[in-house]
């Protein structure tokens, strides 16, 4: 069964550094998402991406965050200057249509020191 | 108004018992209600989903009950098994201009004792 794959599984970064989280969505999917989950809390929506542009974003997704689909297979989340409170599990998801089920990757655990 | 409230936070059930997790929402624009199952170290995996044109959907041991007037929906796991021990999240999204943004509940940690 096709999967969403995320790399790395764990990223440790110093506060203030830039970090890029990578995702390979399912190949025929057109809608892409990033969510985050702070330890012990619920999953929170960050951003949705369709047709090479952001279609929706949450208040969490401020100017420090950006997303990109640099080629036909990868989907990335960049945090420009990381803060301690960015420590969380980041999940990428994709779907074939916007009203179809979203399939999640296993996440990247981001630890900011 | 965007919140989805989920209860209980944790649930302990004996093998063979019925697990029931409840969710409530306020936003009447929500029209898609999935349940996700998450094991430690893994991403959420879609379990079952419902749209408001039906009041119940069953897939194997998993059933969603949906009450549109009360703005509530619940997950029932029949004949619960130790392998069902996981965190369960309800979620909701709105159609129309939404691009599929999911709003999640707080999660329920289910433990099924053998």
pLDDT bin (cut points 50, 70, 90) of residue A23 is very high
For chain A, what is the mean pLDDT? 93
Predicted local distance difference test score (pLDDT) of residue B17? 97
Predicted local distance difference test score (pLDDT) of residue A70? 86
Share of chain B above pLDDT 90, in %: 83
Q: Residue B14 class from Cβ within 10 Å (0-12 exposed, 13-18 middle, 19+ buried)?
A: exposed
CB pairs under 8 A between A and B: 61
Residue A68 has pLDDT above 70, yes or no: yes
pLDDT bin (cut points 50, 70, 90) of residue B113 is very high
Best of B27, B99, B103, B106 to substitute, by most chain A Cβ atoms within 10 angstroms, is B99
Residue A25 has pLDDT above 80, yes or no: yes
Predicted local distance difference test score (pLDDT) of residue A1? 72
Interchain pair B44, A43: CB under 8 A: yes
SS3 of B13-67: the string is EECCCCEEEEEEECCCCEEEEEEEEECCCCCCEEEEEECCCCCEEEECCEEEEEE
CA nearest neighbour of A94 among A2, A14, A31? A31
Residue B20 token pair: 């029931």
Nearest Cβ partner for A42 among B32, B42, B89: B89
Predicted local distance difference test score (pLDDT) of residue B44? 94
Rounded CA gap, B97 and A50, in Å?
13
Average pLDDT over residues A3-14: 96
Average pLDDT over residues A33-48: 94
Tell me the pLDDT tens digit for each residue of B33-69.
Answer: 999 999 998 999 999 999 988 999 999 999 999 999 9
Best of A35, A39, A102, A105 to substitute, by most chain B Cβ atoms within 10 angstroms, is A102
CA nearest neighbour of A24 among A90, A87, A69? A69
Residue B98 has pLDDT above 70, yes or no: no
Residue B114 token pair: 């053998």
Interchain pair A55, B49: CB under 8 A: no
Residue A97 has pLDDT above 90, yes or no: no
B45: chain A residues, CB-CB within 8 Å: 104
């Amino acid at each position: 069964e096709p999967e969403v794959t995320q790399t790395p599984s764990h990223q440790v970064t110093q506060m203030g550094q830039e970090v890029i989280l990578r995702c390979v969505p399912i190949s025929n999917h057109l809608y892409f998402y990033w969510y985050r989950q702070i330890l012990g809390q619920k999953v929170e929506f960050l951003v949705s991406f369709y047709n090479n542009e952001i279609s929706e974003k949450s208040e969490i997704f401020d100017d420090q965050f950006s997303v990109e689909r640099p080629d036909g297979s990868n989907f990335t989340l960049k945090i420009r200057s990381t803060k301690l409170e960015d420590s969380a599990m980041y999940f990428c998801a994709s779907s074939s249509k916007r009203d179809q089920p979203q399939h999640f990757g296993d996440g990247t655990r981001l630890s900011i020191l | 108004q965007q919140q989805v409230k989920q209860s209980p936070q944790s649930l302990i059930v004996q093998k063979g018992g019925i697990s029931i997790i409840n969710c409530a929402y306020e936003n009447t624009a929500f029209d898609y209600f999935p349940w996700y199952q998450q094991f430690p170290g893994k991403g959420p995996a879609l379990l079952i989903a419902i749209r408001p044109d039906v009041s119940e959907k069953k897939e194997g041991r998993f059933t969603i009950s949906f009450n549109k007037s009360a703005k509530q929906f619940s997950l029932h796991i029949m004949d619960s098994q130790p392998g069902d021990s996981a965190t369960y999240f309800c979620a909701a999204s709105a159609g129309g201009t939404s691009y599929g943004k999911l709003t999640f509940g707080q999660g329920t940690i289910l433990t099924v004792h053998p």
